[in-house]
Structure 1
Amino acid sequence: MARYVLKRLVHAILVLWAAYTLAFIMLTALPGNAISNLINNPQNQLTPEDGKILRAFYGLDEPVVIQYLHALDALFHGNFGYSLSNGAKVSDLLGDALPSTLQLTGLGFVFGAVIAAGVGIGGSYARWNWLRTLLRSFPALAASVPSFVIGILILYYFSFELHLIPAVDNGTFLALVGPAATLGIMISAPLSQVFSASIAATRRQPFVHVLQARGADERYIFGRGVLRNSSLPVLTMLGLAVGELIAGSVVTEAVFARNGIGQITLNAVNTQDLPVVQGVVLVATTGYVLVNLVVDVVYPLVDPRIGADVLAKQLTRTKRPTGSTPVGSGVDEAMSPRLSEEVTTR
């Protein structure tokens, strides 16, 4: 297990490096930057000597490779550099904006998971056929509507019409509900679709028919077998949903006038502020990688087949004697008798 976690950790570090390098290359290839725009602006009345001093101070007069190496060295020492637009520390800018965005994405993640769970379970187990049909159509509807449209509708009805939530960020929890619900609806579409399909596929498995033949009710079958097996694809989608949350926060913060990473990203891209954009890319990639790393670690705990496969590979490296029963074989077959025995003893 330790080898498995270490391997995933190395992959995470490589992803962070690749994302930071790609952002540096793409932004460096663009013509101009914040300092060049400042120097070339006639209203600033900067002399050519002042321009050279500014470019030398920010290291923009050096070759691109040297700039990249300096940026990596500063990054290893915890220095994100200074903004080319206002001269502030990038770490201070991100530190001030990050708590607001974390609150937004965290609550949006909870809303999305709750909505997806309700739609997936209700679409499979609801008593009325019309309700099941309505819930099953929700993923397609939510995925087809852009996030900014959802945000504007929530803002219009719940802020301007019903006066339930503030129209702008005033620092209260109610001001967080509207944008978090927007993000939650956005990410719930793929989650609920995958969860519903996974529940339907799991209910057709042989161990479910065995439990039904033993007299187990639907609640017991769902709690002891269907839910655990259906959650594995959803775990993968949860890791991918973090990327949608980070991207969606940019638009959502603009709609609800929240100061966060999204606003900083928009300003940095408009002014081509390279250090700030690199800092945002690194923070966003770190969050994405950490969540997917947690998902990779949780996988063997949820699915015993993955844990058995990891153990089998470790035993293979240690030259396990031939002729023994492969580790992890019969996991699926053993699940049904174990559940059936529990039903019998109830």
Structure 2
Amino acid sequence: MKKYILKQLFQIVPVLFIITFIVFCLVYVAGDPVSMMLPLDAPPEQIASLRAKLGLDQPLMVQYFTYMGNLLQGDFGNSFRYSQPALEIVLERVPATLELAFSSMLVATVLAVPLGIWSATSRNSALDLLITGGSVLGKAMPNFWLGIMLILLLAVTFRVFPVSGRGGWQHLVLPSITMGTAIAAEMTRLIRSSMLEILEQDYVKTARSKGISSFLVVYKHAFRNALIPVITIMALQTSHLVGGALITESVFAWPGLGQLIVQAVNGRDMAILQAAIIITAFMVIAINMMADLLYRVVDPRIQ
């Protein structure tokens, strides 16, 4: 296990190196960073002074190695909008994003696991058709539309939950349902297909022929062996939640990384954008590593 973990950690290094290079290039793809920081009528002397202060008058590779040296020291630059270190601002938003991501995954898991199993064990029945149709509908609904409908129904009309913001558990309900619905729909279909394949295996038929209860056969023998693809999709979807919650966080004014990235793009705050992308990439890599380790826990045969 230790060798496996060390191997995974070594693989992270080139991935992060490539990501940092791409993020560094974003500054030049977006345009001249100095012109973004200064007013349109700024005099040439002020532009040249700021460019020299930021080291942007140096050759490109010199700038890159300087940038990497600063990153290794935890210096992601300063936000010209907030006049604070970019890393501090990004790290302040990380807990909110993780809270929303994992609560959404919890909603998706609570919905998808029983629905997927019921659909598989009731193959071609009315319940199976209902669950399958519901999963297709859940996958097809856009996040922004579902979020707005939930706000109108449960926050404005019935006033059960708050409209927006972050506070108690009540603030988590609507955005978690919004983000978790599409994931639950995809997970339900995957669990159904995995369970259908496992239920046709000989060892499941043997267990049933021995008189073992259907509950134990389905939940102890079949479901555990169907977990590998489910863990994969959960890791991929959690990564998507961490890095791609832009729309949902904007709809519910959730103070996470998604909303911060949108504000940074609109304000052309490249230091914030770079720091947010790198931190998000690191979290996605960490989640995928946890999924790889969980494979070995679920099925010790995996090496």
The residue matched to 2:254 in structure 1 has which SS?
coil
The answer to whether the 8 Å contact 1:268/1:277 transfers is yes
Q: Residue 11 and residue 30 in structure 1: after superposition, are their counterparts in 2 closer, same or farther (change >3 A)?
A: same
Q: Does 2:4 match 1:4?
A: yes
Q: TM-score with structure 2 length normalisation?
A: 0.93
Which residue of the other structure, out of 83, 86, 89, is the alignment partner of 2:85? Answer: 89
Tell me whether 1:227 sits opposite 2:223 in the alignment.
Answer: yes
Within 1, Cα distance between the matches of 2:163 and 2:122? 36
State the SS of the aligned residue for 1:305. Answer: coil
Correspondence for 1:336: none
- What is the letter of the counterpart of residue 129 of structure 2? T
What do residues 93-151 of structure 1 show as CA deviations (whole Å, max 9, x unaligned)?
A: 11222222222112112112212212212212359932222112232212211111111
Q: 1:141 aligns with which of 132, 137, 144?
A: 137
**Following the alignment from structure 1 to structure 2, what is the Cα–Cα distance between the partners of residues 13 and 26?**
20
Q: Taking structure 1 as the reference length, what is the TM-score of the superposition?
A: 0.82
Match for residue 52 of structure 1?
Answer: 48
The answer for the alignment partner of 2:40 in structure 1 is: 41
Structure 1 counterpart of 2:107, from 108, 111, 125: 111
SS of 1:137's equivalent in the other structure is helix
SS in 2 for 1:103: helix
Secondary structure of 1:80's counterpart equals coil
Residue deviations 1:68-116 (CA, integer Å, cap 9, x gap): 2111111111111111434321122112222222221121121122122
Separation of aligned partners in 2, 1:179 and 1:102 = 13
> Do the aligned partners of residues 288 and 247 (structure 1) sit closer, same or farther apart at CA in structure 2, a change above 3 Å counting?
closer
How do 1:184-263 and structure 2 match up within 5 A? 184-263=180-259
Is contact 1:20-1:281 (8 Å) kept?
A: no
The aligned amino acid for 1:37 is M
Pick from 277, 284, 291 the counterpart of residue 287 of structure 2: 291
Write the distance in 2 (CA, Å) between the matches of 1:32 and 1:77.
Answer: 25
Shift of 1:271: 3.3
Give the secondary structure class of the aligned counterpart of 2:288: helix
Q: 8 Å contact 1:12–1:293 — kept in the other structure?
A: no
- Which of 89, 94, 101 is the equivalent residue of 1:98? 94
- Tell me the equivalent position of 2:148: 152
Q: Output the CA distance in 2 between the equivalents of 1:198 and 1:127.
A: 13
1:281 to 277, 282, 287: 277
- Give the CA deviation at 1:170: 5.3
> 2:31 is paired with a residue of what secondary structure?
coil
Give the equivalent residue in structure 2 for 1:181. 177
Q: What letter corresponds to residue 11 of structure 1 in structure 2?
A: Q
Q: Which moved more, 1:199-208 or 1:257-266?
A: 257-266
Letter in 1 for 2:95: P
Residue pair 2:116, 2:189 contacting (<8 A) in 1 also: yes
- State the 4+ residue runs in structure 1 displaced beyond 4 angstroms: none
Q: Could you tell me how far apart the structure 2 residues matched to 1:119 and 1:82 are?
A: 48
| Higher Rg | 1
In structure 2, relative to structure 1, the CA distance for the partners of 1:79 and 1:193 (3 Å cut) is same
Post-superposition Cα deviations, 1:310-341, rounded to whole Å, max 9, x if no partner, equal 3xxxxxxxxxxxxxxxxxxxxxxxxxxxxxxx
Structure 2 segments unaligned to the other structure (5+ residues): none
- What letter corresponds to residue 77 of structure 2 in structure 1? G
Q: CA RMSD in A?
A: 1.9
Tell me if 1:164 matches 2:160.
yes
User: Which sits farther off after the overlay, 14-23 or 231-240?
Assistant: 14-23
Q: 8 Å contact 2:243–2:280 — kept in the other structure?
A: no
